[in-house]
Structure 1
Amino acid sequence: MESYTKLKPFVGISFGMVELNILKSIWSHGIKFVNLKKKGGLGIKDDIIWNKVAVGKLAWWITSKADHLWVKWVNHTYIKNKEWHTYSLPAFSSWYWRKICQVKDTFNEAYQQNLWSETIGNEYSIAKGYEFLRDKGETMNWHNMVWNTWSLPKHGFMAWIYQHKNMNTKDKLYKLGICSDDTCCICGHQTETMDHIFFACDYNKAVIKIVGHGIGVLLPTQNLREWSLRRGGSKIRFELLNAVLNACIYHVWRQRNLSRYELTIDCPRKVASTIVDEMKIRIKGCLMTASPTDKIWL
């Protein structure tokens, strides 16, 4: 629950039961948002692992025979001159001592590999312990598209869900019996899938075309994932164009929800105008970091 609460300032929305159920659904599909952004997560610390590595500090004090009164008391009461790494937990031990011993067993591999020692600068720390336990995972080649300084947080969050292919389109809801049909909420002609909404739907194509004309760049109307990975020009140009695509994903999905739940939808020109205005504000805010060549381009 604490991890869900941390998302509130991140995406700029308050989380009620509906939103928490959405995040739980994302987690159930194998998407771990408590992971590094480049690993496909949201850059949020895993509370369970963090608690373990915090307790690991106590286990490290015992290992390194730190000069603490508590360590001396533990050695006198529990360990009694036994080897700490091979220490066996007594049958009737207190709750907190069982937890410390469990964490000690978790870190035994690191102790044996001598990842930490008593030498200065190589001692155990919570940061090092977290790095040892966290899920290393695979680096996602799209993380630079989703998370960059030009994208608004709400745009990046929606693009993150898009890259994980976890949007609740009507083709999925229809199979679950949640809706009566699977036709697109916007055009009403074809089956509503992610590929249709963002690649094939005439509404999305019109929005992207108008936005591209507004910023003077030819944007793709299909295969956004492959296009976003192409690195052409400077870093700022790459990030700005990806930020524009993130904004298109966010606003097209928002119009889809308006069409479904409120039976209303804005014209493509109005949506495109909103996207261009948002990008102009972001450009003004980030212009100081641009090179002279990029400033002319911008």
Structure 2
Amino acid sequence: MTHKHGFICWVAGHGKLLTQDRLERMQIITTNSCYLCDAQAESHAYLFFNCEYSRKCCQLVSRWCKDVIPEEGCILWWCRKRYRSLYRKKVMGCVIAGLLYHIWHARNVARMDCLMIRPEQLLRVLQKDVRFRIRKFMENCKDRTIKTWMSNL
């Protein structure tokens, strides 16, 4: 995973991203609806797990990974998943970290520039990022089944 993906994952995991609910508690803003779907108040839990935009992104990532990831709750699934292969765990970690980062980025673009990044666009950028990182894993990987699996991503 890239440093920016890892950092956003770490900050999100500690609940410290400046989501609308946190900004409202700090009395910086008065409205707290989600920038991606405008359906409910934006919080960490809502933005990454319940927002319709995030769910669509998880569905696309799930299809891309050949339905390895359950379509709902892919981030929680990865946290609980036990892998037999360290390489597979690293690759899926890159996918999930990249997904978190790109959802946060799409939210910020919607907030700052009033532009919506379509989930399909988000997936293409995520795929590019993950494929770049996979090249590094494949250089060190000896297992043919893992290499085949990674080359299909």
TM-score strictly above 0.5: yes
Q: Which residue of 2 aligns with 1:108?
A: none
Q: Secondary structure at the match of 1:190?
A: coil
**Within 1, Cα distance between the matches of 2:127 and 2:27?**
38
User: What does residue 224 of structure 1 align with?
Assistant: 75
Q: TM-score, normalised by structure 1?
A: 0.47
Q: Does 1:157 align with 2:4?
A: no
How far, CA to CA, are the matches of 2:78 and 2:139 in structure 1? Answer: 27
Unmatched 5+ stretches in structure 2: none
Corresponding residue for 2:121?
270
Say yes or no: does 1:237 pair with 2:91: no
Question: Would you say 1:253 and 2:104 are equivalent positions?
Answer: yes
Amino acid in structure 2 at the alignment position of 1:233: R
Flag structure 1 segments of 5+ consecutive residues without an equivalent.
Answer: 1-150
SS in 2 for 1:179: coil
Question: Match for 1:198 among 25, 48, 55?
Answer: 48
Q: Which residue of 2 aligns with 1:281?
A: 132
**Partners in 2 of 1:223 and 1:268 — Cα distance?**
15
Q: Which has the higher contact order (CA 8 A, sep 6+)?
A: 2
Cα-to-partner distance string for 1:61-104 (whole Å, 9 max, x where unaligned):
xxxxxxxxxxxxxxxxxxxxxxxxxxxxxxxxxxxxxxxxxxxx
TM-score between the two structures when normalised by the length of structure 2: 0.89
Q: CA deviation at 1:187?
A: 0.5
Kindly indicate whether the alpha-carbon contact (under 8 Å) linking 1:209 and 1:218 is maintained by their aligned counterparts in 2. Answer: no
Contact residue 171 and residue 182 of structure 1 kept, 8 A = yes
Supply the AA of the counterpart residue of 1:216. Answer: K
2: CA distance, partners of 1:227 / 1:283: 18
Give how far 1:222 is off.
Answer: 2.1
Shift of 1:175: 2.0
Q: 1:173 aligns with which of 7, 23, 32?
A: 23
| 274 and 265 in structure 1: CA distance in 2 versus 1, 3 angstrom threshold | same
One-letter amino acid matched to 1:274: V
1:42 is aligned to none
Pair 1:225–1:163, CA change in 2 (3 A): farther
- SS of the counterpart of 1:281? helix
How many residue pairs end up in the alignment?
Answer: 148
Amino acid at match of 2:135: K
Q: Which amino acid aligns with 2:145?
A: T
Q: How does 1:80-229 map to 2 (within 5 A)?
A: 151-220=1-70, 221-222=72-73, 224-225=75-76, 227-229=78-80
Q: Percent identity?
A: 25
Whose radius of gyration is greater, 1 or 2? 1
Partner of 1:107: none
Q: 1:189 to 1:246 in 2, by over 3 A?
A: same
Structure with higher helix content: 2
Displacement of 1:200 in angstroms is 0.4
Following superposition, the deviation at residue 256 of structure 1 comes to 0.6
SS at match of 1:168: coil
